[in-house]
Homo-oligomer: A and B are copies of this chain.
Amino acid sequence: MIKPITLYTFGTPNGVKPSIFLELLGIAYKTVVVDISKNDQKSDWYVKLNPNGRIPAITDPNFEGGELTISQTGAILQYLADKYDTAHKFSYPAGTKEYYKTLEYLIFQVAENGPMQGQMGHFKFFAKEKIEYGINRYEAETKRIYGVYEDILSRNSANDSKYLVGDRYTIADIALLGWANALSRADIDIHQWPLLGKWYDALRKLPAVERGFEVAARN
């Protein structure tokens, strides 16, 4: 029997990625809200789990040879796909071209889309000084990156440009969705990229995705 996974998270663009995927997979999990507004992610008990002191993390009691705790959304999503999507509803078999393209676009999200959009948010909303240079730099880079994703979708016209890779949603789509959802807060409309706009609207119609977005409200 599968024991519930513990998800340590908060309702941020990174924090909703694992919950969206867990809901899509239909796996039992319990949520521990790590309140970053109170800096709980820097508390001793959490830093023991994740030396980086950032959410999210998961602990899986079903891991062979003892519990596994893992952080970094790219690693969490890949782990969940490997272990719990053996039917490949949201992934491709290891070693295939689609498997590695999924990994490439997943890493593009965590290494470029997330960090640059995150810096845009910092300079637009959180910085104590108003620094036009920072706002402009990170807004331009964020838009460039969404333009690249639009190009990636356009190259998948064999599948009506509905998915980043092949004929199904993967962890590359889920990772991007977490941040695509936050674009409107920065007054950027994802529909200025026509394929991304359709991609976003289609994903938001899935009940499992909506449940995943609500994770931070639960305890």
Q: Please list the residues of chain A having a beta carbon within 8 angstroms of any beta carbon in chain B.
A: 51-53, 63-66, 68, 70-72, 74-75, 78-79, 82-83, 94-97, 100-101, 103-104, 106-108, 110-112, 114-116, 119, 127, 129, 131, 133-134, 145, 148, 151-152, 155
Check A97 against B72 for contact (C-beta < 8 Å): no
Smallest Cβ-Cβ distance to A138: which chain B residue? B119
Please pick, from B52, B103, B129, the residue contacting A133 in the complex, using a CB distance under 8 A: B129
Knowing A65-B97, A148-B51, A151-B51, say if A72 contacts B133 (CB, 8 Å).
no
Interface-centre pick from A96, A104, A115, A134 (highest chain B CB count, 10 A)? A104
Copies in the complex: 2
Residues in B neighbouring A83, C-beta threshold 8 A:
95
In the assembly, what is the distance between CA of A64 and CA of B94, in Å?
12
Residues of chain B contacted by A52 (CB below 8 angstroms): 108, 112, 145, 148
| Closest 9 A/B residue pairs (Cβ) | A115-B115, A74-B107, A72-B107, A110-B111, A75-B104, A75-B103, A51-B151, A72-B104, A75-B107
Measured in the bound complex, the distance between the Cα atoms of B106 and A75 in whole Å is 9
Determine if B100 and A79 form an interchain contact, defined as CB atoms under 8 angstroms apart. yes
* Residues of B contacting A94 in the complex (Cβ-Cβ under 8 angstroms): 82, 94
- How far apart sit A145 and B106, CA to CA, in the bound complex (Å)? 22
A161 to chain B, nearest CB (A): 13
Residues of B within 8 A of A127 (CB): 133
Residue on B with the closest CB to A103?
Answer: B75
Inside 8 A of A116's CB, which chain B residues have their CB? 115
For A52, the closest partner residue in chain B by CB is: B148
B95 to A68, Cβ gap below 8 A?
Answer: no
Q: Chain B residues near A74: list those with CB within 8 A.
A: 74, 103, 107, 111
Q: Among B71, B95, B119, B155, point to the contact of A119 (Cβ < 8 A).
A: B119
8 A–B contacts, CB within 8 A, in A order: A52-B108, A75-B100, A94-B94, A111-B114, A112-B115, A127-B133, A131-B131, A131-B133
